Structure formats: C-alpha cells, structure tokens
Amino acid sequence: MTDTNRLTRLSKFLAVMLRHDPLRHGLSLDAQGYADLDQVWGQITGRFHGTYTYQDLLTVVDGDATGKKRYEISGRKIRALYGHSSVVIAYAACEPPESLYHGTTAKALPAILEQGLIRQNRQYVHLTSSRERALTTASRHRGEIVLLIIRAGAASRAGVTFYHPEAEHYLARAIPPEFIMAVSPDTPRETNS
C-alpha cells in the first residue's frame, strides 16, 4: 500500500469517528464538534496496531496533497471541519472574494438553477476560490461536469453570510440562484478578485 493510500485510509477512519459515528467508537463530541485527542489516538492504535505513527495523524490533519484540510487540532482536542458532523460547527463570518467556484454535474444543474445551492445533508454549501479544486471535486461524481461561478461578492452584499475556514475554502448556508452562473469546464478563466 502506498503512503498516500495508507494516509487516505487513516483519514477515512477519522471521518467515521468524528463525523459519522463517534458513539460507536466511544467518543463524545463537545458543542463545537471536538473529541478528546488521546481517545481518538487510542482508537487508531487499537484498530490498526502500530500501522500508524502519531506523525501520520498530524500529517492527515495538516491536509491532503491538494492542501485541503478536513480536520483540526486545538490543544488536546480534534474535530472534523466544515460541519459534516451532527454538531453544528460555527465559524466567524468573512467577506468573500467577488467570485467563487463550485463544481457539480450536468444532471444536478437544473435543480441548482431553480433552487440555488442548498446544503442538503451538510451544514454548509462548500465553495472554493480555486477553479481547479472545484473541477477536481466535481470529477468525483459520475457524468458530465459543470463549473458554477458564484457571484459571492454580490451575494454577500445582498445578505448571504460566508465563512472562510481555510485558504481556498469558503462556506455558506445556501446560495440563491440569481448569484450562480454555470459554464463549461473548458470556458476560459475569469479573474477572481
């Protein structure tokens, strides 16, 4: 197993513990979604019996090869980012850039253009300042992909609240359809101010 695959396996196990089923692993999450780091490490060592070092855990927390962070450590606690867990994770509001991106499929596009981007089973809609990251995310789905350009600056001025948990990642509760423009992934790049 390559090192990347090995760390992906650890990241997926963290997702199960911190997002999907903490109680099954003997973890309790506080009001901000944090679990005790020592308990999480104990679950990892108990399950994988020396396969991972503590540095492997820190590497996963630091982010994947594209720089996307899914977890964070604060003191002796760890949590999953972006509000996937059952605990509502709060972030400070921010002023977004004028344009952000979201990748999706052509199949989902009619509903998005009618209803806007909604969080569905997540706590937030995920957006990015990176066109490439949006396309990479969209390519994980089957079917033809579409790039959405979000007029985030205009949405913010109209009252949509944005959050900025990491460098290229932005969150919002929903994006109304009037702030969404769909383009082909091959459409020439716009400047993002």
The pLDDT of 30-59, averaged and rounded, is 92
Looking at residue 170, what is its pLDDT? 94
Query: What does the CA dihedral 30, 34, 39, 41 come to, rounded to 10 degrees?
Result: 170
Residue located via tokens 């990241």: 11
Return phi, psi of residue 124, to 5°.
-140, 155
The pLDDT of 2-26, averaged and rounded, is 87
Looking at residue 67, what is its pLDDT? 67
**% pLDDT > 90, the chain:** 52
Domains of the chain, CATH where assigned: 3-80 (1.10.10.970), 93-183 (3.20.170.30)
pLDDT band with cut points at 50, 70 and 90 for residue 4: confident
The pLDDT of 41-54, averaged and rounded, is 93
Assess whether pLDDT exceeds 50 at residue 191.
no
Assess whether pLDDT exceeds 70 at residue 21.
yes
Assess whether pLDDT exceeds 90 at residue 113.
yes
The pLDDT of 140-161, averaged and rounded, is 93
Looking at residue 192, what is its pLDDT? 43
Measured between alpha carbons, how far is 69 from 156 in angstroms, rounded to an integer?
24
The pLDDT of 48-64, averaged and rounded, is 91
* Average pLDDT score, the chain: 87
Assess whether pLDDT exceeds 60 at residue 63.
yes
Task: Name the H helices within 49-165.
Answer: 54-62, 109-115, 131-138, 152-157
Contacts of 74 (CB under 8 A, 6+ apart): 34
Nearest to 95 by CA among 148, 174, 161: 161
User: 95: number of CA atoms within 13 Å, CB side?
Assistant: 3
Predicted TM-score (pTM) of this structure: 0.62
Nearest to 155 by CA among 110, 104, 97, 108: 97
